[in-house]
Amino acid sequence: MMRSDDTPITLDLFADETPTTPGLTEQIGEQAFVLRGFALPWLERLLPALEAVLLAAPFRQMVTPGGFTMSVALSSCGALGWTTDRSGYRYTAHDPQTGQPWPDMPTVFRELAQAAAQQAHFEHFEPDACLINRYVPGARMSLHQDKNERCLSAPIVSMSLGLPAVFLFGGFERSDKSLRVPLFHGDIVIWGGVDRLRYHGVLPLKQGQHPKLGVQRINLTFRTAG
């Protein structure tokens, strides 16, 4: 948790980077939670649906407005997909790579996101966008706010698959100290309400081999964007 001097610390309970007991809910903010292993019972349905989405909209490396190629590969599904290029960050109804609408959000995706949101006390969550990020060892996500969405009253629901990662959960300024939260296969992080615009990111992914997903971490992030 956060010490009184705001120094970031790793939760000692998970310092050995071993998965936690499914069903544990960990509060990391006033309206921010980690649901440990919440997605595990859903994976038999979820992974084939994910594979179908990625066949229609494969991962790609996007370029930031500053001209930097992101280390994380991205795709999307749902009514809106997130994209970035030299003209800025935005949501679009069509995949800029194909010109086609983004793949529909699979029913299992929506049901899982809504169940997780309800577990974290966010009722009536209606995601219309699912960002799918692929991390390989060394890939990272710098501290940022999710603020391109029109609906900031809805939470962010973020699911981890594959290799473990360290999630940074900061304050309302980029310079604020961040809590470091290890995440494992099947964990879901949810933040909204008073915590909705906190800065967050992911430290560089460490080398490893996941028994099901191999040398990668896949992150599904559900939002109400439109």
Domain locations along the chain = 12-223
Confidence (pTM): 0.89
As separate numbers, helices (DSSP H) first and strands (DSSP E) second, the chain gives: 2, 14
Residue matched to tokens 């069903």: 23
> Averaged over 155-184, what is the pLDDT?
97
Q: What is the DSSP string of 85-126?
A: ETTEEEEESB-TTTSSBPPPPPHHHHHHHHHHHHHTT-TT--
103: pLDDT strictly greater than 50: yes
Nearest to 190 by CA among 158, 213, 218, 164: 158
**Which residues, in sequence order, are CB contacts of 26 under 8 Å at separation 6+?**
11, 33, 34, 36, 181
Instruction: Give the whole-angstrom CA distance, residue 122 versus residue 114.
Output: 9
Report pLDDT for 61: 93
105: pLDDT strictly greater than 80: yes
Digit-coded pLDDT (tens) for 212-225: 999 999 999 999 99
Q: Which of 11-20, 108-117, 147-156, 198-207 has the lowest mean pLDDT?
A: 11-20
SS3 call for 145:
coil
Report pLDDT for 20: 65
Instruction: Give the whole-angstrom CA distance, residue 216 versus residue 25.
Output: 25
Which phi and psi (to 5°) does residue 102 adopt? Answer: -60, 150
The percent of residues above 70 in pLDDT, for the chain, comes to 91
In this structure, how many other beta carbons lie within 10 angstroms of the beta carbon of residue 122? Answer: 21
11: pLDDT strictly greater than 80: no
Confidence of residue 6 (pLDDT cuts 50, 70, 90): very low
13: pLDDT strictly greater than 70: no
Instruction: Give the whole-angstrom CA distance, residue 111 versus residue 114.
Output: 5
87: pLDDT strictly greater than 90: no
Average pLDDT, the chain: 91
Q: What is the CATH number of domain 12-223?
A: 2.60.120.590
146: pLDDT strictly greater than 80: yes
Instruction: Give the whole-angstrom CA distance, residue 74 versus residue 145.
Output: 17
Report pLDDT for 217: 98
Report pLDDT for 182: 97
> Averaged over 49-72, what is the pLDDT?
94
Digit-coded pLDDT (tens) for 33-58: 999 999 999 999 999 999 999 999 99
Instruction: Give the whole-angstrom CA distance, residue 116 versus residue 189.
Output: 9
Report pLDDT for 5: 31
Report pLDDT for 19: 63
Instruction: Give the whole-angstrom CA distance, residue 20 versus residue 26.
Output: 11
